Every structure is written in structure tokens, then in C-alpha cells.
Structure 1
Amino acid sequence: MGTFMGTFFHANVTMASIRRKPRSPYWMMRYLNESGQMVERSTKEVNRKKAREIAEETERVARKARAGEITQAAVLKTWGDLLERTTGDTLNLATIDQFFRDYLKLKARTGSAVSTVARYKSVVDRFLVFLPETRRTASIRSLSPSEIERFRDAELESGKSASTCDFALTVISSILNSAHRKGLTLTNPALAVDKLNGIVEERLPFTREQVKKLLKEADDEWTGMILFGFFAGIRLNDAANLLWENIDLGAQTVTFLEQKTAGRKRRANPVTAVVLHSDIIAWLKGQPEGIAKAPLFPGLAGRGSGSAGGLSNAFNVIMDATDIIVATGRKATGKGRTFRKLGFHSLRHSMISNLANVDVSADVRQAMAGHSSDEIHRRYVHLDVSAQRPAISKIPSIKEIP
């Protein structure tokens, strides 16, 4: 057994000691802990000089803790200084606020859709406002499951649906998973918080008759948007931000980068190609053709989908001008909002339903809708144009185009 190197004095003022443990490369340290008990711990250090520094610093911090003179900030600074002296590394002292904000910046830089980043930011903003300032500026490793659980409950009490609360919990858990992978936390405290298992509301498809009614109320740009949604299944923001360079009238295709799936397709072919229906081609030929970088929908390009002046509400105005009865989901309470089961995204559901109704195979429907994983996307990428043409041609025209 090894012998300790060091001298012991009074019980409250002691010098830590170290020894080499048999059959172990690491030096052990012996010191009085914060409770006044003599304990032995490994320094996880093979260098004797560095091991002694760790032992003496540990004993000094414990002595201050026994005297009630230590704070979290002082502990972090002490161990940060010690880490730098012994290894040359610096201790990452990221605060809760700093790490959550940095995560959002990284997500925006790594190809996540603008709408996804906005949804994450909304959760982060609400969570940071919920935390007291003293907690926002505390170390990320100090965040506890009880704080996250209280935030979830506060969200529910404010009138948000269970599914919205579950999404907020998913966002926080994703951020803390990142912190854990980087070694900034010992665990992910969000994993200890139960989800509410809220029911996710789903859109309904528009019928052909309903689409005809929408077209009668729409102006020229929204007519094009509705046609791209109904016949090509293009999402709202993707359609609004199409450029003339995305259109190939000769090949009768539109190619673009889907905002929602761009991140998942980075390692595969990131570009989505959709064969254009004859009704879309007829609308395009009626437009003054712009130069490559010119927006296809100049009055709608660059607008967000949410908020009072957003694209979603603009589409709802068109829908409300018709006699279409819009079914709703769970009634909103507090700051929540009532879910409308018909919206622009319903046009995408309609396209998929139309393909199914004319017996287009599930494989082709999946490839055209962009619902596939990277693996399936790579497997069916050769179907993109050759299999789409006969599929699109099977969908009948909507005659009443303004």
C-alpha cells in the first residue's frame, strides 16, 4: 500500500496529501471535505506535481465551503483556473442563456428551415423569460428537471395545447442533448420530465370543388400559388419564394430546395424536381416571364408564413371569402389558438390524395411528396421525372381557372 505525502494539522486546517495507489496509474488525494470528513478520491492524474495541485486546490475549496465562504461562481472560477494550469484547457462556463442562444445560431447556420428556427426561437424565448435572471446567467450544468417541468406546466396553464407543450419539451431536450454531447452537462435533465402526449391535429385535404371556389376568389398570384400547392404539393413558403430560374418550361419541371427537408438531404440530392401539371403550365404561359433571379410571385416572396400579415393568414382571407366550411380542432384557451383543419398545407394533402385516387403507386407518391427518408430518397431518386410524368398526366384539369 502506498504512503501519503503530506502533513496533517488541526482538523479544520489540514494540508491535503497524495499517494500512488497500487496497480493504478493515477495519484490518490486525501483531504477534509466540505462536511469535515476525511475522504480519499482519485485525482485522475498521472503527473505527481499536477496531482498535488489538484489535491491542494480541492482541499482549499472544501475548507471555504465549510466556512460558508464559497459560491457557485467561485467554484467554477477555481476549477477553471486549475484546469488551465494542469492541462492547458479552459473550462467552458456557458450560461443557460448563452448556450440556448448559441444553439439557435448554430441551427440557423447548419441548414435548418427558417420556419423551424423560428419555432425553436419562440420556445427558447419563452423558456428564458420564465427563468429568473439569476438562473438565466447560471451555468448550463445547473439546470434541473424541476425547472423544466415547471415551465411545461406554466405553458399548459397559459392555454397552450398539450402537443404544443410537448413540442417545447422536445426543443429544450434537443438543446440539452447538444450540451451533454459537448461535455457541458453530466446528464440531460429534460429526459426526466414526462411529456403530456398531446394529440397532434392534422390537416384535411381540399376537394376539387373547394379548390375551384378558392381560385374564383384568388388574385393572379394566389391563383398560381394554389395551383402549385394543389398539383405539385409545394409547401407555402417554398412556393412563395420560387424564382423564374426554378422553372423549365421546355422540360415542364420545377426544381427547388425544400426549406423543411434541406437539412435532411444534405448528404443526398438536396434538390427536389417536380413535373408540372398542364394547369400550372397554362398559368405560367400567361405570366410575363422574368429573368432568372426574379421571383415568380413578387408580391408574396420574402413574406413570413406566420403573424397577422403572413402568408397563412392571407390564404385564410381567400378561404373565408368562399362558402367553404372550415372544420376546427380543439378550441383555444388563454393564449392558444384554434386549429383550422383546412389551410394552404391542405393543398399538399390534396395532391397526395389525387395521386392515390388515380392509382399512382405508393413509392412514386412518396418520392413526389418528399416524405421519404434520405435512404428512400436515394433509392427512388431515378423515379423523380420519368415516373412523375404519367402520374401527373392522370390528374384531371380544373377548368374554371380565372
Structure 2
Amino acid sequence: MASIYQRPGSRYWMARFKNPSGEWEARSTKETNPAAARKLAFLWEGAAESMAGEGTTAAQVDKVVRGVWERYTGKRIEQTPTRIFFNAWLEGVKAKKAAKTAVRYGAPVRDFLEHLGPRADADIKSITGSEVQSFIDAEAKIGKSGTTVSLNAKVLRAVFNSAVRKGVIERNPLGLVEVPEAVHEERSPFTTGEVDILLTSTKGTEWETAILLGAYAGMRIGDATHMKWEGIDLAKQVLRFRPEKTKAKKRELEIPLHPRLAAHLEAIAGKANDGAAYVCPTLATQEVSGRVGLSEQFNVVMKTAGLSKEIVVNEKLGGRNFSKKSFHSLRHAFLSGLANSGVAEDVRHKLGGHTNSKVAARYAHLSTETLRKAVDTLPGKGGSE
């Protein structure tokens, strides 16, 4: 039986009734009078019951529900086409986030709208959880990993949450959607010996500089290759930069220069004509990704140095190959080195630019010796205490 209720802080009554599929549905009546809201709830349920049966589409249900409301109140319900809202949300992302993030968010938005077909131009209020579930299932069926599908669902959830906050829809249809578990395959850190091998192999090249920035400042490949001299203060022995990944947060990191990195930068500083110049001018002109991008070039650097990418096949990632070693392993080496040296967690977070402890934990890579020292602090040595 249909019923009504109020959400905390809202003056309007919500109607709860069963849709033609027999599932409970909640809609705002836009009524402040409980008697009027209750009547509308029963009208909606009656209309839904009359449509029960196979072949009833979400669009038909929404049309009938809107028709009942408009006849009862004498007002029209404003509609917001799903495609228009999603694209407007994406434009907002482009204005606030880094370009790469906007591209990453754009893919699931485009794919979801394509999956909806003609329904992409329907009112966003009519999009159901089953339609979203259908998209998620289709993504998994074509072989996308649980991590990718989970990230795509996260993007859709963000769009619908935005619609809820703006009052365009009452609830997020992803509430009951089942999403595959995200699986994070971790990189392995380079050992100190491996870093030395890389530096010896690239001595005198821009890759030597980039590798030092990764190993001793924890910089990602894009940040290392786009570092400018204006961000390096040799007098104060610090470097400052704004990570591209979190650029939208406008958080600048200040990293004290490690003696090995400082000596290298001092040795090549004379080559810089002005502060706006890149420390790695040739690498800075190239894309990070792609078949000939910097990431692939670093794979060649490793191969030339005689180091393996340590490729593994992860069944949880759909049986895909995964390289345990990449340029990002230098960042792992930097942060795990700090952890194994006993540097406090909050300091490691600060140096790594992390605000999420869960993410930061993936970079710890505590060594057996560090763990052994921790165990050795326990009482009871010698078996007599």
C-alpha cells in the first residue's frame, strides 16, 4: 500500500509506492499538506498497477506518473534531458579538474549515454537503477577489469549525486546497483641498487635527471619531466611544485633536496637560461602516455639498463598483464624508503602529497628487516620473560 514520509529537513512529503515491476519507488509529491500528498501517492500507485505486466518501459511509467501529477496539481513537471545534464556536469569537471582527469571522466559518461540509446534524451528523473545496472554488467561482460568498472560507476554516482544536490532528482539510482570489486595491483619499488643501475645507464641524459627527481623527490613521471627551474631553490635546498594529479586542489608541495639530487641539479644548473625553462626540456615536449610516450620510453630505459618490468598475469584483473616495475616504482621507492627509515606517517603523507591514508598505505612496502625490528620490540625474549 502506498505511503508518505518526510525526509529530515525537507518540507515536502515523499510518496512511496510500488511501480509496475513490483519494486518500491519513492517520488517527491512537492506537497506540504500530508492529506494531499497521501492522495497523490495512491493515485500514483493506482496508475502503476494499471500498467503492470510485461513490456512496460521505464519511459512509459515516468510519463504516466508525470501525467497524474500534472492533472492533479495543474502544474507541469520540468524535465532535464539526461544527456544535457551529464554533458553540463562534464563541462564543470573540465573547468575544475586537470585535463587528464576530465578525459578519464569523459569516457564513462560517453559510454553510458551511448548505452542508453534514445533514453539518453529522456528526463534524468526517469533513469532507473536497472538501466545503470545493465550498463555496469555490459562493461564487465566486454572484459573490463573490476577496477575500471568500479571507477566508471564512481563517475556515474558523482553525476547523479550532483543531480540530487541540485534538486533535479530525488535519489541516486546507483543506490541498489551491484558494482564489481575494485582490485588494485601494486607496483614494486626499485631497490637502491636498481636505482644506481638506472642512473649509471642514463648518465648525462635528461632521463638521469628525471630518475633522480622520481627516486629522491617522489615525483610522478609527468611532474618530473615538466619540472621547471623556477621551482628549484638551490640556495635553500628545496624544490616546489604542484602535482598535476591534484592540480585542481592548488596544493603546492615543498620537498627538501636530497644531497644526491642537489649535487646533480647544481651540476646542470648552468644550462638553464631562465627560471621558466624546463629542467628536462626535451622530455617536457612529449606526452606521458601512448605507444611512444614517456612511460613506454622508460620501459626502454629499463631494458637497456638490464632491468625487468616484472610482468605478472593477474586473474583478478581479467587475466591481464601487469608491469610491477615502471617509472612510478621510483615514487614507491621514495616513500617506502621513508617508511623503512622510521619517518612518521604524517611526514610521509606531507612529502608524498597524500591526504588519504588508504592510498598512502599502498606505498609503504615495509621491508622484512623493518618488520623484524618491530617484532623484536615485544617482551619475552629468550622464552623466560
Fold match, TM over 0.5?
A: yes
> Do the aligned residues in 2 keep the contact of 1:160 with 1:336 (CA within 8 Å)?
no
- Separation in 2 of the partners of 1:262 and 1:122? 20
- Alpha-carbon shift at residue 118 of structure 1 (Å): 2.3
- Alpha-carbon shift at residue 100 of structure 1 (Å): 2.0
Report the equivalent of 1:310: 293
Report the equivalent of 1:123: 108
SS in 1 for 2:311: coil
- Separation in 1 of the partners of 2:284 and 2:342? 35
- Alpha-carbon shift at residue 233 of structure 1 (Å): 0.3
Report the equivalent of 2:222: 237
Report the equivalent of 2:136: 152
Relative to structure 1, the CA distance from residue 94 to residue 243 in structure 2 (aligned partners, 3 Å threshold; closer, same or farther) is: farther
> Do the aligned residues in 2 keep the contact of 1:140 with 1:185 (CA within 8 Å)?
yes
1:272-312 deviation digits (Å, cap 9, x = unpaired):
10011222222223240131222222222254432223222
- Alpha-carbon shift at residue 262 of structure 1 (Å): 3.8
> Do the aligned residues in 1 keep the contact of 2:242 with 2:253 (CA within 8 Å)?
yes
Report the equivalent of 2:371: none
> Do the aligned residues in 2 keep the contact of 1:152 with 1:169 (CA within 8 Å)?
yes
Letter in 1 for 2:278: P
> Do the aligned residues in 2 keep the contact of 1:290 with 1:296 (CA within 8 Å)?
no
Structure 1: gaps spanning 5 or more residues: 1-24, 27-40, 375-402
- Separation in 2 of the partners of 1:95 and 1:371? 38
Moved more, 225-234 or 359-368: 359-368
Aligned partner of 1:96 among 79, 82, 87: 82
> Do the aligned residues in 2 keep the contact of 1:158 with 1:334 (CA within 8 Å)?
no
- Alpha-carbon shift at residue 331 of structure 1 (Å): 4.5
> Do the aligned residues in 2 keep the contact of 1:161 with 1:336 (CA within 8 Å)?
no
Report the equivalent of 1:371: 354
Aligned partner of 1:223 among 202, 208, 232: 208
- Separation in 2 of the partners of 1:298 and 1:79? 66
Report the equivalent of 1:274: 255
- Separation in 2 of the partners of 1:359 and 1:77? 63
SS in 2 for 1:123: helix
- Alpha-carbon shift at residue 202 of structure 1 (Å): 1.0
- Separation in 2 of the partners of 1:138 and 1:306? 36
> Do the aligned residues in 2 keep the contact of 1:243 with 1:295 (CA within 8 Å)?
yes
> Do the aligned residues in 2 keep the contact of 1:274 with 1:368 (CA within 8 Å)?
yes
Report the equivalent of 1:284: 265
- Separation in 1 of the partners of 2:197 and 2:167? 57
- Alpha-carbon shift at residue 253 of structure 1 (Å): 1.1
Moved more, 175-184 or 316-325: 316-325
- Separation in 2 of the partners of 1:79 and 1:280? 71
Aligned partner of 2:145 among 161, 168, 179: 161
- Alpha-carbon shift at residue 173 of structure 1 (Å): 0.9
Over the matched positions of the two proteins, sequence identity in percent amounts to: 33
- Alpha-carbon shift at residue 180 of structure 1 (Å): 1.3
- The count of aligned residue pairs is 313
Structure 2: gaps spanning 5 or more residues: 1-10, 13-27, 52-58, 358-385
- Alpha-carbon shift at residue 366 of structure 1 (Å): 2.3
1:97-127 deviation digits (Å, cap 9, x = unpaired):
22222222212212x2333222212222332
1:174-211 deviation digits (Å, cap 9, x = unpaired):
11111111112221111211122132111110011211
Relative to structure 1, the CA distance from residue 117 to residue 283 in structure 2 (aligned partners, 3 Å threshold; closer, same or farther) is: same
Letter in 1 for 2:114: V
Letter in 2 for 1:199: V
Report the equivalent of 2:239: 254
Relative to structure 1, the CA distance from residue 77 to residue 42 in structure 2 (aligned partners, 3 Å threshold; closer, same or farther) is: closer
> Do the aligned residues in 2 keep the contact of 1:232 with 1:351 (CA within 8 Å)?
yes
Report the equivalent of 1:384: none
Report the equivalent of 1:13: none
Matches within 5 A, 1:332-351: 337-351=320-334
- Separation in 2 of the partners of 1:81 and 1:302? 59
- Alpha-carbon shift at residue 72 of structure 1 (Å): 9.0
- Separation in 2 of the partners of 1:42 and 1:344? 56
- Alpha-carbon shift at residue 324 of structure 1 (Å): 1.9
> Do the aligned residues in 2 keep the contact of 1:230 with 1:351 (CA within 8 Å)?
yes
- Separation in 1 of the partners of 2:217 and 2:140? 37
- Alpha-carbon shift at residue 348 of structure 1 (Å): 0.8
SS in 1 for 2:305: coil
Report the equivalent of 1:360: 343
- Alpha-carbon shift at residue 260 of structure 1 (Å): 2.4
- Separation in 2 of the partners of 1:71 and 1:169? 26
Report the equivalent of 2:91: 105
> Do the aligned residues in 2 keep the contact of 1:76 with 1:93 (CA within 8 Å)?
no
- Alpha-carbon shift at residue 365 of structure 1 (Å): 2.0
- Alpha-carbon shift at residue 246 of structure 1 (Å): 0.8
Report the equivalent of 1:142: 126
Relative to structure 1, the CA distance from residue 340 to residue 216 in structure 2 (aligned partners, 3 Å threshold; closer, same or farther) is: same
Provide the alpha-carbon RMSD of the alignment. 4.0
Letter in 2 for 1:165: V
> Do the aligned residues in 1 keep the contact of 2:160 with 2:172 (CA within 8 Å)?
yes
Relative to structure 1, the CA distance from residue 323 to residue 291 in structure 2 (aligned partners, 3 Å threshold; closer, same or farther) is: same
Matches within 5 A, 1:16-95: 44=31, 93-95=79-81
The answer to which structure has the higher helix fraction is 2
- Separation in 2 of the partners of 1:81 and 1:97? 24
Report the equivalent of 2:192: 208
> Do the aligned residues in 1 keep the contact of 2:299 with 2:309 (CA within 8 Å)?
no
